[in-house]
Amino acid sequence: MIRKTENVRPFEFSLRINNHIICQRFFNIKNYNNDCRESYELKEMLDEIMGTNQQLKLGLIPEYFKYRCVANSHKPYHLQNNTLSDKKVIFSLEISKNNVNKLREGGNNFNIEDLEKEVICVGSFDGNLFHPNVRYDVDIRSIIPDIIKVISKYMSFKNNTNTFGDVKLTRLNKLTQDELEKTYQN
């Protein structure tokens, strides 16, 4: 019997509420473009998934919570009073990439840093916009394929926007402290 070695799914998204994981999925991205990590498209992707502010349309997850409020006959989220806000609730989405397949190919030649996953992007929104019964009874299984589809779409673009106006986009975690100080002094 021939045993097939299965590649580990290198990408992961995790949805958290107040930094506690409530949903985590591993997946592959066909035609992944490494240049997307420093592009304007990541911001657009997070807006499409998590967006709530200054947009004509809510992101996938807030739109789902809004639908659940209406379906369960709770007050619409914009009409809620402050008595429903028992504590601060922040939903955050983290998209990351691990190096497991790279380690398999390299054999035993790796550093401990190679085992750490790389956070590609993080987005968040205020959960107090939604009724407590909706935000604490989170079941997003029905929209997980849509979330993965949006992530895959944006992270497989062939041409990415790497500048915004005259500014070259750079991931914050790649900047050194000296570069940060130089950037904010100007």
Task: Please indicate whether residue 186 or residue 56 has the higher confidence score (pLDDT).
Answer: 56
Task: Please indicate whether residue 178 or residue 65 has the higher confidence score (pLDDT).
Answer: 65
Of all helices (H) and strands (E), which one includes residue 74? none
pLDDT of residue 37: 79
pLDDT for residue 55 is more than 90:
no
Percent of the chain at pLDDT > 70 equals 66
Quote the pTM value.
0.74
> Can you spell out the DSSP letters for 120-154?
EEEEEEEGGGS-HHHHSS---GGGHHHHHHHHHHH
Listed by start position, the domains of the chain span 11-185
pLDDT of residue 14: 92
pLDDT of residue 150: 93
Span between the terminal Cα atoms of the chain, in Å: 65
Percent of the chain at pLDDT > 90 equals 13
pLDDT of residue 175: 45
Contacts of 4 (CB under 8 A, 6+ apart): none
